[in-house]
């Protein structure tokens, strides 16, 4: 979908052919729904390589990447330190099904950064939240759970009620085939009174409240000041636990995630994305008294053939070695620069918008209303985002192919890349203005 100004980065012949082949044998042609471009239209770009802040697709188009594999690539693509660590690990063997030193090193790094007593490594954020939920139910002997509309915690059955991200992007109702959501109480995000009411109506029955530490799956919506602390106080007063889902925010918005950034605390935490450095690794953790209930120390079962995989641990550890105070200062500054550029371009084009931030994560809502929750996020002008997205894509900037996803910066963004984004934004803002309501 090249725009009328004849942008150069719109060759799609090879991606189109790959997509057609894939669509014959893979549902929707993709292995994770939002990749399919359904909400923005056009051909999903099949990437063949990445270096630093740039990636190249099957037609030779290059893009400055503001998705970063949906968060993990905080130091950019193929960082030499990460590639070297993965290569050295691979040369020694890819998996053993036994404990390995790399797992110990990664777990030590994670506990040192977060202050949790114990951590269990898994393969995906979905597994982390699924396991933390099981542990919370086992520890409390209760079954009900509270989650917030628009928060996505992976495709765990009871958490797929009013989930954001792909479910929202594709305008799907909560997925068929899901069981157990009758035990899930869904509340509006950032609404303390709703949390109070839920506990008043279900005394002694709620095992846990799970919340994204800062929401990033309905677009970025930070918790209102004190929200996470107040919900924890309400939950604890009733004997329920709090799970802070840091899969997206963990090690991204600060050395130890949103918790370190804001001071919010919880009983259990889930991590993923950055801690795997672009390979499949995730984790859940908490204080000893809870985590020691996990098998084989305790009775709560959870396991994985590839959990703590040596390559993933090496990538995660190498990435975290690069996650220094200097890197976070750079990410914060880059994020502010990009927010300013986007605001300027959209304001000059007269496009209603709100830049919404949570630390260095941000997204642009195409609405002029405040966005504290999912209901408000859904008032945005999806057609305007679609036009904006394609104009950026055609000029070599890869944004999330959905108006409900966070934009991610990496430490690899250089001045040339920022210049390219700055040049592209006014075109994209004008494209959005043409279709804006």
| Set 144, 191, 273, 385: catalytic member | 273
Nearer to ligand PLP, 46 or 152 (CB): 152
CB of 350 to ligand PLP, least distance (A): 33
Contact residues toward ligand PLP (CB under 6 A) are: 70, 124-126, 129, 152-154, 165, 212, 216-217, 245, 247-248, 272, 282
CB of 409 to ligand PLP, least distance (A): 16
| Set 191, 245, 264, 267: catalytic member | 245
Answer whether 59's CB lies under 8 Å from 14's CB.
Answer: yes
Rounded Cα distance, 221 and 27, in Å: 31
CA 408 from centre of chain: 9
CB of 433 to ligand PLP, least distance (A): 31
Nearer to ligand PLP, 127 or 394 (CB): 127
Nearer to ligand PLP, 70 or 365 (CB): 70
Residue 174, CB half-sphere, CA atoms under 13 Å: how many?
A: 20
Nearer to ligand PLP, 199 or 269 (CB): 269
For 435, other C-beta atoms within 10 Å of its C-beta total 15
CB of 62 to ligand PLP, least distance (A): 25
Who's near 250: CB < 8 A, 6+ residues apart? 114, 213, 256, 257, 258, 269, 270, 271, 272, 273, 274, 275
CB of 129 to ligand PLP, least distance (A): 5
- 245: annotated active-site residue: yes
Nearer to ligand PLP, 19 or 269 (CB): 269
3 state SS of 265: coil
Rounded Cα distance, 315 and 241, in Å: 32
| Set 3, 57, 152, 404: catalytic member | 152
Residue 214, CB half-sphere, CA atoms under 13 Å: how many?
A: 31
Give DSSP secondary structure letters for 366-415.
Answer: SSSS--SSHHHHTTS-HHHHHHHHHHHHHTTEE--SSTTS-B---TT--H
For 201, other C-beta atoms within 10 Å of its C-beta total 10
For the record, the structure tokens of 142 come out as 């209760």
Residues making up the chain, counted from first to last: 437
Nearer to ligand PLP, 217 or 339 (CB): 217
CB of 245 to ligand PLP, least distance (A): 5
Give DSSP secondary structure letters for 125-140.
Answer: HHHHHHHHHHHHHHHH
- 152: annotated active-site residue: yes
Residue nearest to ligand PLP (CB): 125
Catalytic residue IDs: 152, 245, 273
């Amino acid at each position: 979908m090249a725009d009328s100004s004849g942008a150069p980065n719109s060759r799609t012949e090879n991606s189109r052919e790959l997509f057609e082949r894939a669509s014959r044998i893979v549902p929707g042609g993709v292995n994770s729904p939002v990749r399919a471009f359904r909400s923005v239209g056009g051909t999903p770009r099949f990437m063949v390589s990445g270096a630093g802040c740039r990636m190249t697709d099957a037609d030779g188009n290059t893009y400055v990447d503001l998705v970063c594999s949906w968060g993990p690539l905080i130091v950019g693509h193929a960082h030499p330190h990460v590639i070297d660590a993965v290569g050295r690990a691979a040369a020694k063997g890819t998996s053993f099904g036994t404990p390995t030193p790399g797992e110990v090193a990664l777990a030590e790094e994670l506990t040192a950064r977060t202050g949790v007593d114990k951590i269990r490594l898994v393969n995906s954020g979905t597994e982390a939240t699924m396991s933390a939920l099981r542990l919370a139910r086992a520890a409390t002997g209760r079954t009900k759970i509270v989650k917030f509309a628009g928060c996505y915690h992976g495709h765990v059955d009871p958490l797929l009620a009013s989930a954001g991200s792909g479910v929202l992007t594709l305008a799907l109702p909560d997925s068929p085939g899901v069981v157990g959501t009758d035990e899930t109480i869904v509340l509006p995000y950032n609404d303390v009174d709703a949390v109070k009411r839920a506990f008043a109506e279900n005394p002694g029955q709620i095992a846990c409240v799970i919340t994204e530490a800062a929401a990033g799956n309905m677009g970025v919506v930070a918790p209102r000041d004190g929200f996470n602390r107040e919900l924890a106080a309400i939950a604890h007063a009733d004997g329920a636990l709090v799970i802070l889902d840091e899969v997206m925010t963990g090690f991204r918005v600060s050395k130890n995630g949103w918790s370190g950034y804001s001071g919010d605390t919880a009983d259990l935490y889930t991590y993923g994305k950055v801690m795997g450095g672009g390979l499949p690794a995730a984790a859940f953790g908490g204080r000893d008294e809870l985590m020691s209930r996990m098998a084989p120390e305790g009775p709560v079962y959870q396991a994985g053939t590839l959990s703590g995989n040596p390559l993933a641990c090496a990538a995660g550890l190498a990435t975290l070695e690069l996650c220094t105070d200097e890197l976070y200062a750079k990410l914060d500054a880059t994020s502010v620069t990009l927010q300013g550029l986007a605001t300027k371009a959209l304001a000059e084009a007269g496009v209603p918008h709100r830049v919404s931030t949570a630390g260095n994560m941000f997204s642009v809502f195409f609405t002029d209303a405040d966005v504290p929750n999912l209901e408000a996020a859904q008032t945005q002008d999806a057609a305007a985002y679609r036009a904006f997205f394609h104009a950026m894509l055609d000029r070599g900037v890869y944004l999330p192919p959905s108006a409900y996803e966070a934009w991610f910066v990496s430490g690899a963004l250089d001045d040339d890349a920022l210049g390219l984004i700055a040049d592209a934004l006014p075109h994209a803002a004008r494209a959005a203005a043409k279709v804006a309501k």
